Structure 1
């Protein structure tokens, strides 16, 4: 495994904690320590031309990044944070939200969706859908969806549900997506070879699905495990980012191939020497900046062209 030098230095400095991923209390304690180390739940990025505010849309708490003086009908990205369905914060979207607003005049709405296992699927997806329906046709008709890791699962589910509900989306932007609860039980040697990521284990992915789906692992609620969709024709165009050393890499590529085979305009970007969640863990690295820039540009093109 040959990691990008900046990513390798981060991995060496912050080794993965020794925790049972099925122990939600322990996982959340580690996440709380991480948030405390960064000064609590406060933004790390700012720009003089970007405003950040908290709000509610259809009763769901959100964070909104917007230009200082947005015009009526300004395009919107709805963002879903990662965190294995059990942790995470809407501030996780800031790395795309700030440049989207500052450089392209696009609003980002990041959703504080309900977490598992207290609120299993489809609760998170329902929250995201409530936000979507509170925006489309009311604030703007130009909307895209973005998600990272577990958030990408929710985003892909929203793309399917929006298609079936007749709601147009400009793009589904999926970063290091997890979409198939069956994938980690595969005996495919590729899954073993790329399960060496120091930031995400196969066991952690299995635990995340168990927290999210509970007893419905074999028959997930509609849209909650996008790979279970009967067909993907007609969903929003997709931009998929995968990391070379991520246990989810092949799963993300397989879903992108399925979309493309169904006639969905799809682009896949694979970033060499990277690990799961790299552009959120170390957003200042050169490779992370390329990834973030690629996602921002894809969203802006889809919404503004």
Structure 2
């Protein structure tokens, strides 16, 4: 595949190395192949070494949405006992169709170690077996449990943030909208990393990256179709499925939004960050030049990747007052 001329040189070198390794081909997504893709991801996670850490990692089953199964959450806590810690409620990515909390263990452990926070990561149901609203309702149920059990978890309820990456970033934005519209839980911050926000796929960037390094246009169309079925791209899509559909962004917690220059989500993220600011929501936005979707995960040692991680961590520190 020919790379975009704007691709960061260090990321380009990393991509060429990673290209020699087995991975999931997002460009080949089909309903028939989805089970194989999931199995491949699960095998990769099973083979990955467990993070070397003293952070406590515990899985729990918590009440799900009304009439739905319980939801698994993964709770990460510092080794030292403590109370009134800041908390990050995390939602993993995977295009609405793959993934589980374990895929982000290393990143979440790093936040817990460096910031002294408690993290709760939700294992929401996946499309297409579980279309909207199942994923976001699972995310909201896990958030409600986290807030309700803040004292037991050692969490300061006034310092509870919601975050996610990619599809998880879109679900984080949607969960924050639900929390506002349902009267709680109160949230201190939203951390939206390259979020998947708009099912319409009509922006210039949504059309430009048919051959993206990660998550090309075809995969994005597939993910939204899995979540929304025939409603995808129509006028009947809820903002709790596609937050770009929300017309009122006022009253939301302060936000951090970032995205790469060379990815499908670029323009919808720019628009969402701008509309958050216009609605009176204090918003920090980063457009990383020469970067593709998930660049910091694929090439973690690149200077741009280090800058991205530092910016997110600094934003959480400011939000939590630490």
TM-score with structure 2 length normalisation? 0.85
Counterpart pick for 2:316 among 290, 299, 302? 299
Task: Flag the 1:88–1:38 CA change in 2: closer, same or farther, 3 A.
Answer: closer
Q: What is the distance in 1 between the residues matched to 2:277 and 2:61?
A: 35
TM-superposed deviation, 1:95: 4.3
* Residue 102 of structure 1 pairs with residue 106 of structure 2: no
Task: Flag the 1:192–1:76 CA change in 2: closer, same or farther, 3 A.
Answer: same
* Residue 181 of structure 1 pairs with residue 199 of structure 2: yes
Q: Secondary structure at the match of 2:60?
A: strand
Give the structure 1 partner of residue 190 of structure 2: 172
Task: Flag the 1:284–1:26 CA change in 2: closer, same or farther, 3 A.
Answer: farther
Give the structure 2 partner of residue 67 of structure 1: 78
Q: What is the distance in 2 between the residues matched to 1:122 and 1:111?
A: 15
Deviates further, 2-11 or 273-282? 2-11
Give the structure 1 partner of residue 67 of structure 2: none
Give the structure 1 partner of residue 228 of structure 2: 213
TM-superposed deviation, 1:280: 2.4
Deviates further, 8-17 or 92-101? 8-17
Give the structure 2 partner of residue 275 of structure 1: 292
Give the structure 1 partner of residue 40 of structure 2: 33
TM-superposed deviation, 1:216: 2.8
Task: Flag the 1:143–1:199 CA change in 2: closer, same or farther, 3 A.
Answer: same
Q: What is the distance in 2 between the residues matched to 1:61 and 1:18?
A: 26
Is 1:77–1:144's contact at 8 Å kept on the other side of the alignment? yes
Deviates further, 114-123 or 269-278? 269-278
Task: Flag the 1:18–1:62 CA change in 2: closer, same or farther, 3 A.
Answer: closer
Residues 13-24 of structure 1: pairs in structure 2 closer than 5 A:
13-15=17-19, 17=25, 19-21=27-29, 23-24=30-31
Give the structure 1 partner of residue 180 of structure 2: 163
Give the structure 2 partner of residue 112 of structure 1: 123
Q: Secondary structure at the match of 1:177?
A: coil
Is 1:43–1:94's contact at 8 Å kept on the other side of the alignment? no
Give the structure 1 partner of residue 212 of structure 2: 197
Give the structure 2 partner of residue 76 of structure 1: 87
Could you list the runs of 5+ residues in structure 1 that have no partner in the other structure? none
Q: What is the distance in 1 between the residues matched to 2:160 and 2:251?
A: 16
State the superposition RMSD in angstroms.
2.2
Q: What is the distance in 1 between the residues matched to 2:288 and 2:36?
A: 30
Give the structure 2 partner of residue 12 of structure 1: 16
TM-score with structure 1 length normalisation? 0.89
Q: Secondary structure at the match of 1:55?
A: strand
Q: What is the distance in 1 between the residues matched to 2:277 and 2:100?
A: 31
Q: What is the distance in 1 between the residues matched to 2:105 and 2:304?
A: 17
* Residue 3 of structure 1 pairs with residue 11 of structure 2: no
Deviates further, 268-277 or 69-78? 69-78
* Residue 51 of structure 1 pairs with residue 56 of structure 2: yes
TM-superposed deviation, 1:273: 2.0
Q: What is the distance in 1 between the residues matched to 2:75 and 2:317?
A: 17
Aligned residues: 299
